Amino acid sequence: MSDSAYTDFEFERRFLVRDLPAALLTEPAPALIVQSYFLAADGYGLRVRLQASQSSAVVGPTSDPLTVLADHEDEIDFCALTAKGPMVGGTRYEAERELDVHVGLEMVRRGGLRIVKNRYAVWLGADGWVVDVFGGANHPLVIAECERSGPVTDLQIPEFCTTEVTDDVRFSNDHLVHDPYSAWADAYASGLARTGPRFLEGFGRNVVDDGRGPRDED
C-alpha cells in the first residue's frame, strides 16, 4: 500500500462522556461544525462538513442546523467533502477533499441530512482528544474521540469516558442523522446501568483513570 493510500484511513477510538470536564468548558470559542450527509447507509457516508474554527455559537437541544448556520455563516472558515467506509476494528476508510466554503454552504442548504455540534480540543497524557457536544435532535450526546496516525493502542482513557462506543454503529454520525440520540438515550442509559461500562480488548493495554489515578483495565 502506498503512503498516499495509507493516509486515506482514520484510526480512532470513541467514548460516551458522562460529564463534560470543567477544563473544556473554559475554552472560550469551541469549533462549530455543521455536517450534511448526502449518503448515510450501512456504514458508508458521503458528507459535506462546514466548520468555524472558533465560533460564538453554543449548541443546545433546540439548535436547528440550518438556523445555526444562517446565524453564524460569517464564521465558517473551512469546508470539506468526505467519503467514508464502515468502521472495522477502530479503522475506517476516509477520503477528504477541501471545498470552497461558499460552494459548501450552498450544498448544505440545498440537501442532505444535517447534524450540528460544538467541538472542544484538549491534550491529555500523550494524546490529543476532541470532545463533540451535539445539538438539536442529538442533544445531550457527548462523544470523546482519540485519533492517531496508526491504530490507537495502549490508550490512557480519561475519567470522563463512561464507556467505549468505537464499535457501536448507533453512535456514528451517519447513523445519528437517521436515528437521533434523543430518541433512544433513556433506553441506552438503562441498558448501560444493567451491564456496566466496557472497554474494547485487542488494542493493547487499556489504562482507565477512575479519578484515583490511572489503572489497568481488567
Distance CA 165, CA 106 (A): 33
| Residue 210 banded pLDDT, cuts 50, 70, 90 | low
Cell of 128: 490529543
Cell of 170: 448507533
Distance CA 162, CA 202 (A): 19
CB atoms within 10 A of CB 61: 12
Q: Give yes or no for residue 213 having a pLDDT over 80.
A: no
- Residue-wise pLDDT tens digits, 52-65: 998 999 999 999 99
- Residue-wise pLDDT tens digits, 131-162: 999 999 999 999 999 999 899 999 999 999 99
Nearest CA-CA partner of 33 in 47, 19, 20: 47
The domain that contains 31 carries what CATH number? Answer: 2.40.320.10
Report the number of distinct structural domains present in the chain.
1
- Residue-wise pLDDT tens digits, 157-206: 999 999 999 999 999 999 999 999 999 999 999 999 999 999 998 899 99
pLDDT given at position 5? 47
10 pairs with which residues across the strands? 92
pLDDT given at position 26? 75
Residue with cell 493516509: 7
pTM, two decimal places = 0.91
pLDDT given at position 1? 34
pLDDT given at position 217? 55
Residue 8 gets the label, from left (phi > 0), alpha (psi -120 to 50) or beta, of alpha
pLDDT given at position 2? 38
Q: Give yes or no for residue 18 having a pLDDT over 60.
A: yes
- Residue-wise pLDDT tens digits, 27-52: 778 999 999 999 999 999 999 999 99
Domain range spanning residue 11?
Answer: 3-216
What amino acid is encoded at 50 in this protein?
Answer: L
Q: Give yes or no for residue 79 having a pLDDT over 60.
A: yes
Q: Give yes or no for residue 72 having a pLDDT over 70.
A: yes
- Residue-wise pLDDT tens digits, 96-124: 999 999 999 999 999 999 999 999 998 88
